[in-house]
Structure 1
Amino acid sequence: MTDPSPVHATTVAVRRDGAWTAVMILGPSGAGKSDLALRLIGRGWRLVSDDYTRVWASGGALHATAPAAIAGRIEARGVGIVSVRTRLVARVVLAVACVPEAVERLPEPQTRRFCGIDLPLLALDPRPASAVEMVAVALQTL
């Protein structure tokens, strides 16, 4: 197991095939990470961590948790910091990069490395309502 490293990301998890599977949403402040996470949470996902996520590699997989100071809370822009249902730890299988524009229709597969683990990387404009479904579809293809 590697020592946990902080990543500027919001991480959410969903129960799939009996296990919790997480998606790490990447982007600068204001990119829409928390907004996309709140929409996923509204569809039954659980928050792992908002804005900063601690990740580590173990057994060939990447795992995530929240720093203690922010566990269980997410920023709802314009509303404030709110408490939501959480998942303490989850295995991360996909990274989503929030981009401010439409993406290519059929992009080449990309990856991003965290703690020596390569994750598939989905570039996504988080603003359209379909962004939630795009994350779900991308997760199903793994």
Structure 2
Amino acid sequence: MILHAGLLAAHMDGAWRGVLIEGPSGSGKSDLALRALDHGFRLVADDRVALWACEGALYGRAPDTLAGLIEVRGLGVLREPALPFCRIALAVACEQHERMPEPAFKDYVGLSIPSLSLQALESSAPAKLRRALQHLGAWPDKAYLDALAVGVSPRPGGDSR
């Protein structure tokens, strides 16, 4: 499946965790990706993402023709060191968001992953991406998802007590 989206990754807990960034053209996906790169994220794909499922996990990569490229408005299409693929841990929709949203999930190729909305052009958006990934990584995936299902949320720093 090819999706109109971007894919970034952050290295946490010894592995790359991917953030799938969706939104309509002009919503700030590439702008957010550019700012996130300056905050330690790595590019996986810009504009189009090839998705697949493997052993119960969702993965993504850039189509061959777009690998290692990012569009920077006002500058054009630029080369950027990129990861060849990564496991996707979070989906982000570039749109208006609630102050205290309920836990949400989105389905891709038969798999459900945590999802959130944010305004891509907010200066805090890259920090919110990192915090969301850290929050997801605070507990093993199943324990985190089970806790969300019953309305429990880990405290800052990942302390589950």
Task: State the TM bucket, normalised to the shorter chain.
Answer: over 0.9
Shift of 1:119: 1.1
Does structure 1 residue 113 correspond to structure 2 residue 98?
no
Instruction: Return the TM-score normalized by structure 1.
Output: 0.93
Secondary structure at the aligned position of 1:7 is classed as strand
For the pair 1:84 / 2:92, whether they are aligned, the reply is: no
Report how many residues are paired: 136
Deviation of residue 32 (structure 1)? Answer: 0.5
Task: Tell me, yes or no, if structure 1 residue 122 matches structure 2 residue 116.
Answer: yes
Q: Is 1:61 equivalent to 2:49 in the alignment?
A: no
Conserved in 1, the CA contact under 8 Å of 2:59 and 2:85?
Answer: yes
Q: Determine the C-alpha separation between the residues in 1 that align with 2:26 and 2:66.
A: 18
State TM-score, norm by structure 2. 0.82
- 1:92 is paired with a residue whose SS is strand
Give me the whole-angstrom Cα distance separating, in 2, the residues matched to 1:125 and 1:94.
16
Residue aligned with 2:84, SS = coil
1:72 aligns to 2:68 (yes or no): yes
Question: Structure 2 stretches of 5 or more lacking a match?
Answer: 137-161
Which residue number corresponds to residue 139 of structure 1?
A: 133
Amino acid at match of 1:53: V
**Could you tell me whether the CA contact under 8 Å between 2:12 and 2:134 is conserved in 1?**
no
Letter in 2 for 1:116: G
Identity percentage over the alignment? Answer: 46
CA distance in 1, matches of 2:22, 2:31: 12
Q: Which amino acid aligns with 1:44?
A: G
Question: Any runs of at least 4 consecutive aligned residues in structure 1 with deviations exceeding 6 A, and if so which?
Answer: none
Judging by fraction of residues, say which structure has more strand: 1
What is the deviation of 1:98? 0.1
Distance 1:23 1:58 in 2: 17
CA distance in 1, matches of 2:76, 2:7: 18
What does residue range 36-51 of structure 1 map to in structure 2 within 5 Å?
36-51=32-47
State the distance in 1 between where 2:4 and 2:128 align.
21
Q: What is the RMSD of the two structures over their aligned residues, measured on CA atoms? A: 0.8
